[in-house]
Amino acid sequence: MPSGASNGGRSAARGGGAGGAVAGPPGPLWIAALPKAEVHLHLEGCVPPSIVGPAGTGRVGVDPAGADPDAPPAFGDLADFLEYLDRSCALVTHGDQVERIAYAICERARDSGVGHADVIFNPEHWPAWQRDLGGFVARLDAGLAAGGQDHGVTTGLCLSLTRTQPPSASTELVDWLLHARPPRVVALSVDGNEAAAGRTGGRFRPLFERARQAGLHTCAHAGESSGPDGVRDAVELLGAERIDHGIRAVEDPALVADLAARGIPLDVCPTSNVRLGVVPSMAAHPIERLRAAGVPVSVNTDDPLLFGTSVAAEYGTCAATFGWGETTLTRIARTSIESSFADPDRRRDLLQALDDYAGAAGPR
Ligand code: ADE
Ligand code: ZN
């Protein structure tokens, strides 16, 4: 739990008044102490921007002496953003850096009340490690284990393929994963630019099938740079348990109804969608329409250090934008835990913690 929020942040969050129903939107301390999971978080988005520096970000005209070296860069669109990831992750060449990045994920999770995080990593972004993926995952595991121990956070890794990579490269990664089977890796995923790749569900389908047969979970980016067809393909062809983003499903009412009826969760990243121009503004974000239509949605950061956000900040932004109160935020947190790839005991414990917290919060 976040420091200073051990009472659930209730009195401080709402300016006093112990117990009973309290009017007004949930405060930041209440939000930060709400037990939750983060299920859409990229390792690549956890590399501090200072590793690249102002010149590398293209932030011309900025005085490096006066600028915050870790200020989030500005991005044009997803393609621009993905190129940036290639540049920044290429600078991570030492195991100590990898461990530090992993450890810090657990620190930030604790600060946002995140008890479990599923962390996506895409080997294609990390050239220094492509011939030593086992070493890379071992360093990630060490950092996540130490951070988890110190901050009470559990984590799983999702190995991600790239939509635009040659089929032989995707196959090689799945071969490696199923042969090495590092215990920290719990899922196969696919990310990258669907607008550039076109429809690739059929191509990735056999790889997802192999991963499922081997007992791995599956999730897929879709409905960010692709429209509703991408979401359908992720569900029907890849058998994804969870859709990363998925927000453009909103363009197809039949698909929305289907996702709701089948209870297929979307792990939504509101600030990311605004920053990458997927939606024009937070007010126009479809998460509220999807939620109101009965689609299970969770709220996540995608790439927190690059979009200057945190899980707690995302909950706060949604609460302020859509008028979400405690009941809705608690529902979102429940979906985040239920849709996580935490092991069943951990999920049960986190759901219990959430019930205890919500129950102690008084009438809503
Ligand atoms: N990799 C990191 N963030 C991503 C995003 N939002 N979409 C696709 N691939 C990504
Ligand atoms: Zn993502």
Question: Structurally, how many domains does the chain consist of?
Answer: 1
**How does DSSP assign 91-143, residue by residue?**
T--SHHHHHHHHHHHHHHHHHTTEEEEEEEE-GGG-GGGTT-HHHHHHHHHHH
Please give the residue range of the domain that contains residue 262. Answer: 32-360
Compute the radius of gyration of the chain from its Cα atoms. 20
Which of the four pLDDT bands, split at 50, 70 and 90, describes residue 68? confident
Annotation marks residue 224 as catalytic: yes
Which of the four pLDDT bands, split at 50, 70 and 90, describes residue 65? low
CA-nearest residue for atom 6, ligand 1, is 302
Decide if 126 is inside a domain: yes
Closest ligand 1 atom to 224 CA? 7
Decide if 19 is inside a domain: no
Does the C-beta of 275 come closer than 6 Å to ligand 1?
Answer: no
The fraction of the chain above a pLDDT of 90, given in percent, is 86
Average pLDDT for 192-216: 97
In what order do the strands lie in the sheet containing 266-268? 36-42, 114-121, 154-162, 185-191, 217-222, 242-245, 266-268, 297-299
Q: If you average pLDDT over every residue of the chain, what do you get? A: 91
- Could you tell me where the DSSP H helices lie in 152-200? 167-180, 194-197
Ligand 1 centre from 65 Cα, in Å? 30
Closest ligand 1 atom to 42 CA? 2
Rounded CA-CA distance 248/270 in Å is 12
Summarize pLDDT for 70-95 with one digit per residue, the tens.
899 999 999 999 999 999 999 999 99
Which of the four pLDDT bands, split at 50, 70 and 90, describes residue 63? low
Residue 20: pLDDT above 50? no
For position 130, which CATH number holds? 3.20.20.140
Decide if 13 is inside a domain: no
pLDDT for position 64: 58
Rounded CA-CA distance 116/125 in Å is 24
Match 């927190």 to its residue by tokens.
304
Average pLDDT for 148-163: 98
pLDDT for position 25: 84
Low-confidence winner among 14-28, 146-160, 222-236, 275-289 (lowest mean pLDDT): 14-28
Low-confidence winner among 6-15, 268-277, 340-349 (lowest mean pLDDT): 6-15
Residue 1: pLDDT above 70? no
| Alpha carbon of residue 310 to chain centroid | 10
Average pLDDT for 102-109: 98
Pick the ligand that lies closest to the CA of residue 244.
2
Decide if 104 is inside a domain: yes
Average pLDDT for 187-210: 96
CA-nearest residue for atom 9, ligand 1, is 192
Ligand 1 centre from 245 Cα, in Å? 9
Does the C-beta of 42 come closer than 6 Å to ligand 1?
Answer: yes
CA-nearest residue for atom 8, ligand 1, is 192
Does the C-beta of 192 come closer than 6 Å to ligand 1?
Answer: yes
Ligand 2 centre from 356 Cα, in Å? 31
Residue 128: pLDDT above 70? yes
Rounded CA-CA distance 51/36 in Å is 30
Torsion 328-334-338-340 (CA) sign? positive
pLDDT for position 19: 30
Closest ligand 1 atom to 276 CA? 6
Ligand 2 centre from 279 Cα, in Å? 15
Average pLDDT for 171-183: 98
Decide if 38 is inside a domain: yes
pLDDT for position 23: 54
Q: How many CB atoms lie within 10 A of CB 50?
A: 15
Does the C-beta of 163 come closer than 6 Å to ligand 1?
Answer: no
What is the best residue among 38, 42, 124 to mutate for testing ligand 1's pocket, by most ligand atoms within 8 Å of CB?
42
Ligand 2 centre from 303 Cα, in Å? 7
pLDDT for position 9: 43
pLDDT for position 54: 61
CA-nearest residue for atom 7, ligand 1, is 192
pLDDT for position 80: 95
Rounded CA-CA distance 165/173 in Å is 11
List the one residue out of 122, 148, 99, 114 whose CA is nearest residue 36.
Answer: 114
Decide if 293 is inside a domain: yes
Summarize pLDDT for 302-321 with one digit per residue, the tens.
999 999 999 999 999 999 99
Rounded CA-CA distance 58/87 in Å is 12
Residues 6+ positions from 214 with CB-CB distance below 8 Å? 178, 181
Average pLDDT for 56-67: 54
Residue 7: pLDDT above 50? no
Backbone φ, ψ for residue 98 (5° rounding)? -60, -45
Closest ligand 1 atom to 303 CA? 3
Rounded CA-CA distance 198/263 in Å is 27
Rounded CA-CA distance 300/315 in Å is 8
Pick the ligand that lies closest to the CA of residue 75.
1
Ligand 2 centre from 219 Cα, in Å? 11
Residues 6+ positions from 256 with CB-CB distance below 8 Å? 249, 250, 290, 293, 295
Match 């740079």 to its residue by tokens.
225
Does the C-beta of 314 come closer than 6 Å to ligand 1?
Answer: no
Which of the four pLDDT bands, split at 50, 70 and 90, describes residue 69? confident
Which of the four pLDDT bands, split at 50, 70 and 90, describes residue 361? low
Average pLDDT for 245-264: 98
Does the C-beta of 44 come closer than 6 Å to ligand 1?
Answer: yes
Rounded CA-CA distance 299/329 in Å is 9
The first and second tokens of residue 288, run together, are 């509220």
The first and second tokens of residue 173, run together, are 């990664």
Ligand 1 centre from 277 Cα, in Å? 13
Given the residues 224, 314, 326, 338, the one annotated as active site:
224
Pick the ligand that lies closest to the CA of residue 192.
1
Rounded CA-CA distance 73/81 in Å is 9
> Is 158:78 a contact under the CB 8 Å cutoff?
no
Decide if 27 is inside a domain: no
Pick the ligand that lies closest to the CA of residue 267.
2
